[in-house]
Amino acid sequence: MSTPVSSIRNLGPAVEAECKRAGIPDAETLRSLGAHEAYRRMLETGTRPHFIGYYVLHMALQGRPWNDCKGKEKETLRAQFDSLKTTVSPNAPPGIERILNEIGVIPRR
């Protein structure tokens, strides 16, 4: 039995739609992937990078309020987010088109 992503505290219909687009159909899949990998997949399928969305996802999967992220923890997540942003091309084409784009067979978008 699958549970909707929006059943997780702080995650609503918009995040659920982004997750589905990224191939994350339910809360169980999201939890098994973890926040960082799930967000990476979301970026690859067109989610615009936004630090608050990134750390909200982390807090949600820990069962914590979205605004509970502070201090050193927030700094650490910020560094991880910045690194992730540089390794993932937003709106990258899926599948073979993405690979062909990466190796320069088709013009960069």
Question: Could you tell me the domains of the chain?
Answer: 5-102 (1.10.150.20)
Spatial contact of 109 and 101, defined as CB atoms under 8 Å apart:
yes
Can you read off the two tokens belonging to residue 96? 């073979």
Q: Tell me what the pLDDT averaged over the chain comes to.
A: 88
Can you read off the two tokens belonging to residue 32? 């098994």
Q: In the prediction, which pLDDT does 87 show?
A: 87
| pLDDT reading at 94 higher than 60 | no
Spatial contact of 45 and 21, defined as CB atoms under 8 Å apart:
yes
Spatial contact of 44 and 22, defined as CB atoms under 8 Å apart:
yes
Higher pLDDT, 44 or 100: 44
**Prediction pTM value:** 0.79
Q: Does residue 54 sit in helix, strand or coil?
A: helix
Residues in CB range of 74: below 8 A, 6 or more apart: 55
